[in-house]
Amino acid sequence: MPFVIWLTGLSGSGKSTVARHLKEALKKEKRPVYQLDGDVLRAGLCSDLGFSREDRAENNRRMREVAKILFDAGVVVIVSAISPFREDRALNRAAFPAGRYVEVFVDTPLKICEARDVKGLYAKARAGLIREFTGIDSPYEPPENPELRLDGAHLGMEEMSEKVLEYLRERGLLRNAALQERA
């Protein structure tokens, strides 16, 4: 049974790392799974887009459409993308059947994201070299009712990944690990 996990949060919050952990766990279950990463899509399919509100909406729409294609093909889709606006995330949710879309808020404070800034993006944004950067001069609207909120200030990447897997098991989207071992 396919489903979509949409990880949202600031740049550097841990979305992509958690997504990679989830992808590996699902592969071990022999589930068809694909990770759509916002950075990868921005470099290819969405390379013609900037960071205006309109371009961000179009970027989100394209990710959603690719996720729908994969979902319709029976693939579990893990999207890791900032997706800063509630309106766009509501459209994502509406595109999938109830119970098959899981919004996960990787809630990592800006200070921690900036400290992790491996690409130097926050530093460039603070210096005015990047405009409309989420969390600096463009807003991030935290989800009001995500299926799951991960505390990026206190949990490690593997712990956050395990919380998502626990949630999926509780909702019947994944088999219980104990049952799996007996099979």
Residues annotated as catalytic are 83
At 39 the three-state DSSP class reads: helix
Quote the tokens at residue 72: 């319709």
Work out the widest C-alpha separation in the chain, in whole angstroms: 57
Residue 20, exposed/middle/buried by CB under 10 A (0-12, 13-18, 19+)?
A: middle
Rounded Cα–Cα distance for residues 131 and 136 (Å): 9
> In which order are the strands placed within the sheet that holds 148-151?
33-37, 76-80, 4-8, 101-107, 148-151
Separation of CA 67 from chain center: 12
Q: Which of 71, 3, 82, 96 is nearest to 49 (CA)?
A: 82
